[in-house]
């Protein structure tokens, strides 16, 4: 298990290096000049700025500096081009927690909802609740999240108008009430996917021998359902969580955009619009590293939960 | 004693009683039984027709602005009155009434007999009223509801600066709605807290010249005729552009990305994965490790990154950079899948047999291996289409996709969200089209999966 974890970590480090290199190459293909803006800048100022951002050095040296600056334990992504004297590290430190909380809540919603609804559809297989939930699942997969976001806002506007005061705020960030609707919207797609997966997983488990054994032993149906069927059916659902975390983090872009949430995704879009080179590179590498770490964590955790994986 | 004797050779034994079905014929038969998949197929055909032939049937320029019908909900064609060209209105000034009040007053009367001069049209609303003794000027306001009090008069339109100037013409963005005009007398500077209100509903009007320029009337049309304005079956957007024409134009962008990006990356994935899988060994390991790296790139971030790296010049729509970025980032999944399939098929007996019979590499690849992976590839392709349409919509929605004024379903949603409360149709139509298209491709993909699954084949 330790060797497996170590192997995965080494591969992860190489992956992060690849992401950083790809980011560096892509950013150096961007047409234009990071120091070019509307203001006329004298040559002296320009030279000083280039020196400050290390742009006066050859590209190969810039690449090495870029890589060495990012080495742990103290990675440094440089200074923002457009926000005066603000370090990229600070931007990430300030705004990533917002995205992380949003994502965590969304994952929680999605997992709980997916397992619950998936189990329900399996219990009521080919009966009305099954059809209704599976219809909603198809909707959840087919309707883009920004439409859900807009509909969610519309719902909140009407609910608030009915109550007479802003019970659940339509947009913004700060309290738990602010977080409810965005994280629900963000989790919907994943919830639909997990429900579908949970349903087929439940139906597969039902035919296993150990369920028959349990039934033959005379265990109560509830006990069989909770202890034998549900627990075994959840396992394959958890594997998909790693990649889904990635999907939720990037899906957060749209939700942050619609609900005006000061998360890292919104800052990334803003940085792209203003061509803020250091922020774009820093955010991309940071997100990449985060996602790699998440996938490894889920895989390793899965090894602990399911002993069969450890043997491989 | 002979227990066994050879069967008599006859044609009947050798004959296959049921017609032989190829893999694809069988799959097609099973797909036909799947109602949902067939309905989806019809929907896809309809959307393809909508995209390809729609612009020929509905020949409206998607960029043309109809400023008489901005943010118009779907409705039957509206009637409008033709009017002559606009003539500058003369100010109404009463010569024998003092322009300046002779003395300051605490209170004056509200303007009496506030009335319309000429007919109220969207070309202009002309107001006049009786002069107020003691006034040094008047302020004119316009509201879209009846004013509830002095602080609720609405939009300040303008002022006159003489007590004897008692006319005002409003030409500010008039629509065929009901307006409440208020006139407040001033002492030339400050307002007196009295006002008169007039309810006016302007008639929708366009000039003869404009109607001719827009091909709405023949040459014989004269002012006073009532004509129909342009018909917008699905309404117009916030700039007065026809929604139906824009949806068709947007469908071209969305479906172009949706069809061609998967096609290219699936083809590349087949080549890459097939190559790695067939030759195997160290080459396979290196190639697949590279694919693993590409998978690890954060997708949406790199879509945006690549798109700005390719750059969008002036006048370009940004579709091609998006297509390239999508292909560059999406191929590894197909490559991995095809490689797995090839590894499986390579070990099959019929490959060995073909090789023994002297089949060369390229013969084996093109005759045996690729046709046998087609089922899986078709399923991948069907599911890749909605994913690509989604990606395009996402990017365009956050403003990182196509460049305005090129419409795409995603960017139309982005515009629609802003006016969602007052003009929901601008969001509903593009959102509905995205959802239906994605739904149809998803259901068709499910159908293909079931129809092409050879494990299901034996059950029947």
List, for residues B353-378, the tens digit of each pLDDT value: 888 888 888 888 788 887 788 888 88
pLDDT at A34: 66
- Which of A26, A141, A292 lies nearest to residue B305, judging by beta carbons? A26
Residues in chain A closer than 8 A to B301 (CB atoms) = 250, 268, 283-284, 287-288
Same domain, B268 and B161: no
CB atoms within 10 A of CB A281: 23
H or E element that contains B326: helix B319-346
Å between B89 CA and nearest CA of chain A: 45
pLDDT tens-digit readout, A47-61: 877 777 777 778 888
Residues in chain B closer than 8 A to A145 (CB atoms) = 394
pLDDT at A36: 66
Closest chain B residue to A277, measured at CA: B305
* A75 has pLDDT over 70: yes
Instruction: Tell me if B12 is assigned to some domain.
Output: no
Q: What is the CATH number of the domain that holds B151?
A: 2.60.40.10
Same domain, B286 and B419: yes
Averaged pLDDT of chain A: 82
Closest chain B residue to A291, measured at CA: B298
Contact between A143 and B435 using a beta-carbon 8 Å cutoff: yes
Same domain, B310 and B447: yes
* B242 has pLDDT over 70: yes
Instruction: Tell me if B7 is assigned to some domain.
Output: no
Mean pLDDT for A166-174 is: 76
Same domain, B208 and B328: no
Instruction: Tell me if B267 is assigned to some domain.
Output: yes
Å between A35 CA and nearest CA of chain B: 17
Instruction: Tell me if B287 is assigned to some domain.
Output: yes
Interface probe, candidates B398, B436, B442, chain A, greatest A C-beta count within 10 A: B398
In chain A the domains, ranked by start, together with CATH numbers, are 95-280 (1.10.3720.10)
Å between B94 CA and nearest CA of chain A: 51
Same domain, B281 and B364: yes
Q: Which of B228, B258, B285 is the last residue of a domain?
A: B228
Q: What is residue B236's DSSP assignment?
A: B
Same domain, B300 and B421: yes
Residues in chain A closer than 8 A to B434 (CB atoms) = 143-144, 147
Same domain, B371 and B390: yes
Give residue B45's pLDDT band: very low, low, confident or very high (50, 70, 90): very high
pLDDT at A38: 57
Instruction: Name the β-bridge partners of B156.
Output: B141
- Please give the structure tokens belonging to residue B441: 């491709």
Give residue B459's pLDDT band: very low, low, confident or very high (50, 70, 90): very low
Number of structural domains in chain B: 2
- Which of B302, B420, B431 lies nearest to residue A154, judging by beta carbons? B420
Closest chain B residue to A147, measured at CA: B431
Give residue B264's pLDDT band: very low, low, confident or very high (50, 70, 90): very high
Q: What is the CATH number of the domain that holds B369?
A: 1.10.3720.10
pLDDT at B1: 57
pLDDT at B13: 67
Burial of residue A51 (CB within 10 Å: 0-12, 13-18, 19+) is exposed
Give residue B188's pLDDT band: very low, low, confident or very high (50, 70, 90): confident
Averaged pLDDT of chain B: 82
Instruction: Tell me if B221 is assigned to some domain.
Output: yes
Better-scored residue on pLDDT, B399 or A185: A185
Percent of chain B whose predicted confidence (pLDDT) is above 70: 95
* A74 has pLDDT over 80: no
Residues in chain B closer than 8 A to A150 (CB atoms) = 413, 417, 420, 427, 431
Percent of chain B whose predicted confidence (pLDDT) is above 90: 3
Same domain, B268 and B389: yes
Query: Dihedral through CA B363, CA B369, CA B375, CA B381, nearest 10?
Result: -80
Give residue B458's pLDDT band: very low, low, confident or very high (50, 70, 90): very low
Same domain, B38 and B88: no
A with B: how many residue pairs have Cβ under 8 Å apart? 119
Q: Which of B162, B196, B228 is the last residue of a domain?
A: B228
- Which of B304, B427, B431 lies nearest to residue A272, judging by beta carbons? B304
- Structural domain including B182 reads 79-228
Q: What's the pTM?
A: 0.79
* B460 has pLDDT over 50: no
Q: Which of B228, B254, B285 is the last residue of a domain?
A: B228
Mean pLDDT for B382-393 is: 87
- Which of A157, A258, A287 lies nearest to residue B298, judging by beta carbons? A287
- Which of B304, B311, B414 lies nearest to residue A31, judging by beta carbons? B311
Same domain, B207 and B245: no
Instruction: Tell me if B3 is assigned to some domain.
Output: no
pLDDT tens-digit readout, A134-153: 888 888 888 888 888 888 88
Contact between B297 and A22 using a beta-carbon 8 Å cutoff: yes
pLDDT at B307: 81
Instruction: Name the β-bridge partners of B142.
Output: B155, B181
- Which of B302, B400, B431 lies nearest to residue A269, judging by beta carbons? B400
Same domain, B51 and B85: no
Query: Among A14-18, A186-190, B209-213, whose mean pLDDT is lowest?
Result: B209-213
Contact between A144 and B431 using a beta-carbon 8 Å cutoff: yes
Mean pLDDT for B329-344 is: 85
Confirm whether the ipTM is greater than 0.90: no
Same domain, B208 and B246: no
Q: Is B399 on the interface with A (CB under 8 A)?
A: yes
Residues in chain B closer than 8 A to A146 (CB atoms) = 393-394, 397, 413-414, 417
Å between B427 CA and nearest CA of chain A: 8
Contact between A288 and B311 using a beta-carbon 8 Å cutoff: no
* B223 has pLDDT over 80: no
Q: Is A253 on the interface with B (CB under 8 A)?
A: yes
- Chain centroid offset of residue A193 CA: 15
Contact between A146 and B420 using a beta-carbon 8 Å cutoff: no
């Amino acid at each position: 298990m330790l060797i497996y974890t170590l192997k995965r970590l080494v591969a992860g480090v190489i992956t992060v290096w690849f992401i950083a290199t790809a980011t560096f190459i892509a950013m150096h293909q961007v047409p234009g000049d990071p120091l070019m803006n509307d203001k006329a800048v004298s040559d002296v100022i320009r030279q000083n700025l280039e020196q400050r951002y290390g742009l006066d050095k050859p590209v190969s040296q810039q690449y090495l500096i870029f890589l060495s600056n990012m080495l742990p334990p103290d990675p440094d992504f440089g200074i923002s081009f457009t926000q005066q004297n603000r370090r990229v590290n600070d931007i990430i430190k300030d705004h990533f927690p917002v995205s992380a909380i949003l994502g965590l809540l969304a994952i929680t919603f999605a997992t709980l909802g997916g397992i619950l609804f998936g189990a329900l559809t399996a219990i009521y297989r080919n009966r009305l609740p099954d059809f209704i939930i599976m219809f909603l699942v198809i909707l959840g997969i087919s309707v883009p999240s920004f439409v859900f976001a807009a509909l969610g806002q519309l719902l909140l506007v009407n609910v608030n108008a009915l109550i007479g005061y802003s019970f659940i705020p339509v947009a913004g960030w700060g309290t738990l009430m602010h977080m409810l609707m965005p994280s629900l919207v963000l989790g919907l797609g994943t919830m639909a996917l997990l429900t579908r997966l949970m349903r087929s997983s439940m139906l597969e488990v039902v035919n296993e021998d150990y369920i028959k054994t349990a039934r033959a032993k005379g265990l109560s149906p509830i006990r069989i359902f909770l202890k034998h069927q549900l627990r075994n059916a959840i396992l394959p659902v958890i594997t998909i969580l790693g990649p889904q975390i990635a999907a939720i983090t990037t899906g957060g872009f749209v939700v942050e955009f619609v609900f005006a949430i000061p998360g890292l995704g919104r800052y990334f879009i803003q940085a792209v619009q203003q061509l803020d080179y250091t922020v774009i590179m820093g955010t991309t590498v940071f997100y990449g590293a985060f996602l790699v770490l998440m996938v490894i964590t889920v895989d390793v955790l899965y090894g602990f939960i399911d002993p069969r994986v450890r043997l491989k | 004693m002979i227990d066994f004797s050879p069967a008599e050779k006859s044609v009947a034994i050798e004959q296959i009683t049921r017609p032989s079905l190829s893999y694809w014929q069988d799959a097609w038969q099973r797909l036909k039984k799947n109602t949902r998949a067939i309905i989806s197929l019809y929907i896809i055909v309809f959307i393809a027709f909508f995209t390809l032939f729609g612009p020929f049937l509905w020949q409206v320029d998607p960029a043309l602005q109809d400023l008489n019908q901005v943010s118009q909900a779907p409705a039957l064609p509206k009637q409008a009155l033709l009017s002559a060209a606009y003539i500058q209105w003369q100010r109404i000034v009463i010569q024998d009434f003092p322009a300046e009040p002779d003395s300051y007053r605490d209170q004056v009367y509200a303007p009496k007999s506030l009335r319309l001069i000429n007919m109220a049209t969207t070309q202009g609303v002309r107001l006049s009223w009786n002069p107020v003794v003691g006034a040094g000027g008047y302020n004119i306001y316009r509201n879209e509801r009846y004013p509830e009090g002095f602080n609720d008069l609405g939009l300040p339109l303008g002022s006159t600066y003489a007590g004897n100037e008692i006319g005002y013409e409003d030409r500010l963005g008039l629509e065929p709605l009901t307006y409440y005009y208020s006139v407040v007398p001033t002492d030339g500077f400050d307002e007196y807290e009295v006002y008169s209100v007039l309810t006016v509903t302007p008639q929708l009007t366009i000039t003869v010249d404009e109607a001719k320029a827009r091909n709405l009337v023949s040459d014989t049309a004269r002012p006073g005729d009532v004509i129909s304005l342009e018909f917008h079956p699905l309404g117009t957007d916030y700039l007065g552009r026809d929604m139906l024409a824009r949806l068709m134009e947007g469908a071209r962008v969305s479906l172009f990305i949706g069809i061609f990006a998967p096609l290219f990356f699936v083809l590349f994935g087949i080549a890459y994965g097939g190559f790695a899988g067939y030759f195997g060994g160290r080459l396979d390991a290196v190639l697949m490790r590279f694919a693993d790296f590409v998978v690890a790139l954060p997708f949406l971030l790199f879509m945006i990154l690549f798109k700005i790296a390719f750059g969008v010049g002036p006048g370009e729509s940004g579709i091609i950079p998006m297509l390239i970025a999508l292909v560059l980032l999406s191929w590894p999944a197909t490559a991995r899948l095809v490689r797995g399939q090839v590894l499986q098929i390579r070990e099959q007996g019929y490959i060995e047999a073909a090789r023994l019979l002297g089949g060369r590499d390229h013969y084996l690849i093109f005759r045996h291996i690729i046709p046998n992976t087609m089922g899986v590839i078709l399923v991948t392709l069907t599911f890749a289409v909605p994913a690509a349409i989604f990606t395009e919509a996402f990017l365009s929605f956050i403003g990182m996709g196509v460049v305005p004024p090129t419409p795409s379903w995603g960017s139309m949603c982005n515009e629609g969200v802003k006016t969602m409360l007052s003009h929901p149709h601008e969001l509903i139509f593009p959102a509905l089209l995205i959802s239906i298209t994605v739904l149809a491709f998803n259901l068709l993909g499910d159908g293909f999966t079931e129809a092409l699954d050879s494990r299901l084949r034996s059950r029947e």
